[in-house]
Amino acid sequence: MEKIGFVREDGSEDFFIVEEQTCIGGVSYLLVSDSEEDEANAYILKDTSEPDSDTACYTMVEDEEELTAVFRVFREMMDDVDFEE
């Protein structure tokens, strides 16, 4: 599984495991987890970089409607995984 670094505003860095990726309405989303263990926390990240950028810039999805809609897509894609909400 691929790991990515996520740099916070204070300069600290967290690493996440990319579980799945999808594109909805031309926007890329990642489903990431903070551990390879069974009890991992999952987060949805959204690519907010400029279209012509060479580097992706992902931010956590915070809008509840968007989060719910994207979560449903990931849940359908990963029907063999038991998600707790």
What are the tens digits of pLDDT across the range 27-78?
Answer: 999 999 988 887 888 899 999 998 888 888 888 999 999 999 999 899 888 8
Looking at residue 83, what is its pLDDT? 56
Amino acid at 24: I
Looking at residue 80, what is its pLDDT? 62
**DSSP H or E segment with residue 71:** helix 64-77
| pLDDT top residue among 58 and 8 | 58
Tens digit of pLDDT for each residue in 13-31? Answer: 889 999 999 999 999 999 9
Report how far residue 13's alpha carbon sits from residue 9's, in angstroms, rounded to the nearest whole number: 9
Does the pTM surpass 0.85? The reply is no
Report how far residue 30's alpha carbon sits from residue 58's, in angstroms, rounded to the nearest whole number: 8
**DSSP H or E segment with residue 3:** strand 3-7
